[in-house]
Amino acid sequence: MNSQYPYAMKNMMPTGNPIFTNNKDINYYKLGFVLAKITPPTKEVLTNLFIQKRNEDGSISCPRETFYEYISTVDLKQGLQYGYKADIFCGINFPNACEEGEIFGKFVDTLYKIKSTSTDPVEKQIAKLSLNSTYGKFAQKEQEYNIKLASKDAVKEILSKYHYTYLSDISDELTLIKSGPRINSKLKRLYKTYSEFNNNNEDLNNLDTFVKQRGIPTAVQISAIIAAYARTSINIYKNIPDNIAIASNTDSLILSKPLPNELIGTELGQWKLEHHFTEGVFVSPKLYCYVDVNNNELIRKASGVVAGYLNYQDYLNLAKGQNVTTKKEIFKVNWKELKIDIVNVETKLTGIKQGS
């Protein structure tokens, strides 16, 4: 799908004051999140389930049995159309949610045009990066910080080990301090060399006095809803009658037949046909390969490692439960020359246990 997440960003967004409610009617919610008991449909009704559940170990699954989940109304409303049942207990509604395109519409259209038409590779890459990374910034949090009242001796120990952003004496015995992970000393030296302190153009002679002037404003509900819109944009293609969905990723599908021509194109949210193949090995969601019938090219996907070092037999061995040694790229900072080197190091991929 062309720019799936930017496409999702053009929808209605959860803005305005949130309202907590015990209303159990899904139609009451203009946009928001609900706590619900969800009952998935049988396989005869829906072959490929798509409402996700976060498991205790942090993994995500689409269970066939009934489960409880805090879910966006975007996901749930789509699920109800495909045979899911839900009993809502409570939720958060955004009655003043902005309309489609009101926040990100012009932003997305402008950058997508640059990405699609620019002949400058740098300009094209910046536009692509801006489109794909913006939505996540609304859920980005600062480094973990602790706020506590501490004695003078305890404060000295904290200052020797951690970075602080706030320090104030409350009494002769106690100090209020907000502290967190220490800034890399090499970055601090660079900051001392090249930066100005506050608005006074004073040199930052004492690096231990450096404090961040503002935090990161977050609106996690916006990122969560954009992710929900992205999920629902691909879900509708996972159960097309007479067109089996063999596999899917975040923004891609492998189907037994091509999609209709009217869905294919270069516009935002349209699809592009990348490969046609008759055989492949699918080890896990982001570890698979197949052979393109048009040019006999082996298409390889391997999250976390360099796919180019894997061959067809490696994927077969992994699918059979055998381990495979390959390579992955790591970034290594060269502080002397102020550059980042890309280094290939050996690593091991663990084969999939049979029956998993």
> How do residues 102-147 score in pLDDT, each as one tens digit?
999 999 999 999 999 999 999 999 999 999 999 988 888 766 678 8
**Is the model more confident about 330 or about 223?**
223
The pLDDT value given to residue 216: 55
The pLDDT value given to residue 209: 47
The pLDDT value given to residue 200: 47
Among 155, 178, 209, residue at a domain's last position: 209
In a domain? residue 238: no
Query: What is the end-to-end Cα distance of the chain in Å, rounded?
Result: 29
Q: H-helix or E-strand containing 290?
A: strand 287-292
- Highest-scoring range by mean pLDDT, 72-81, 304-313, 318-327: 72-81
Q: In sequence order, what DSSP letters do the residues of 57-87 get, joined into one string? A: TS-EE--SS-EEEEEEHHHHHHHHHTT-EEE
5 and 230 in contact (C-beta within 8 Å)? yes
| Structural domains counted in the chain | 3
In a domain? residue 119: no
Among 154, 176, 209, residue at a domain's last position: 209
In a domain? residue 268: no
The pLDDT value given to residue 196: 46
* Residue numbers of the domain that contains 184: 146-209
In a domain? residue 354: no
* Residue 183 burial (C-beta neighbours within 10 Å; 0-12, 13-18, 19+): middle
The pLDDT value given to residue 115: 94
Among 70, 93, 116, residue at a domain's last position: 93
Give the integer Cα–Cα distance in Å for 233 and 49: 14
The pLDDT value given to residue 303: 86
Predicted confidence (pLDDT) at residue 354 exceeds the cutoff of 90: no
The pLDDT value given to residue 78: 97
In a domain? residue 225: no
